Amino acid sequence: MVNNIYTQRLVSWIWHPYPYKAFASNAWVEVIHETDPFHDEMFGAWFQVAPGSGVYYNLGDTLAFAEHQDAYTHFGVHSGDYNEQLAKKASAQGYDSLQFYAHVDPVSYPCDTKHTGVGGLSYMGFEVLATKLVGSYACGAPNGAPASIKSGWLASKECKCDNNLQFLNCKQGVHSEALHLERAAFPDKLTANTSYVLV
């Protein structure tokens, strides 16, 4: 039920065992994003890859790494806020995103091997750092979703995102239908700052 701590309420996951493969440049990848829960995303926005979310991010020019440390080493990040410096340096070199396909993170993954003792769950997801977006906004930018975020079948629709919500959202397609279904099923449990997806 809880693949990672950035997941919206009432969303379930079907977990596919790793290893995971990196995506090609300019691929549209379905993602989720929570508004900067650690207050450290003034530069760059962190996404979890989430097939079925109905919200797509275009990776643009991208590089893939197994772990964060691999990227810190590659870009020469040695001090300060490492993730902020990483986003700045990668963006300055023309990269729109960085992919992390084997990041071990017991903070983000409460059901991993470290917490449960169950083998084969060292990491439970795939992260993407959007180097030119701002994770302190639900939509990744102050004026709503940028052109690199879309919704609809295979990223075919513009994403009309509301920064007043806690999670990345698109006000049509999958999200609006999911919200309608949840309102009907759980009328007393919805809050104004929550968005819903069908996975």
Q: Mapping DSSP to helix (H, G, I), strand (E, B) and coil, where does residue 82 land?
A: helix
Residue with tokens 């959202």: 169
Phi-psi region of 120 (alpha: psi -120 to 50; beta: other; left: phi over 0): left
Mean pLDDT of 122-136: 97
Residue 98's H or E segment, with its range, is strand 97-100
Geometric angle at alpha carbon 6, from 132 and 105, rounded to 5°: 85
Do residues 5 and 167 make contact, with C-beta atoms less than 8 angstroms apart? Answer: no
Closest Cα to residue 32, out of 16, 12, 62? 12
Pick the more confident residue, 178 or 196: 178
- Comparing 95-104, 118-127, 143-152, 186-195, the range with the smallest average pLDDT is 186-195
Distance CA 98, CA 83 (A): 11
- What pLDDT sits at residue 185? 60
pLDDT by residue (tens digit) across 152-166? 999 999 999 999 999
Do residues 140 and 33 make contact, with C-beta atoms less than 8 angstroms apart? Answer: yes
Residue 83: burial class (beta carbons within 10 Å; 0-12, 13-18, 19+) = buried
pLDDT band, very low/low/confident/very high, at 11 (cuts 50, 70, 90) = confident
The DSSP bridge partners found for residue 65 are 100
Distance CA 134, CA 160 (A): 17
The DSSP bridge partners found for residue 100 are 65, 127
pLDDT by residue (tens digit) across 37-48? 988 899 999 999
Do residues 178 and 197 make contact, with C-beta atoms less than 8 angstroms apart? Answer: yes
pLDDT by residue (tens digit) across 57-93? 999 999 999 999 999 999 999 998 999 999 999 999 9
Mean pLDDT of 1-5: 85
Distance CA 136, CA 23 (A): 25
Distance CA 145, CA 159 (A): 6
- What pLDDT sits at residue 199? 38
With 80 as the cut, is the pLDDT of residue 95 above it? Answer: yes
With 80 as the cut, is the pLDDT of residue 192 above it? Answer: no
The answer to whether the pTM exceeds 0.75 is yes
pLDDT by residue (tens digit) across 138-190? 999 999 999 999 999 999 999 999 999 999 999 864 444 555 555 566 555 44
What are the structural domain ranges in the chain? 28-185
Distance CA 159, CA 171 (A): 7
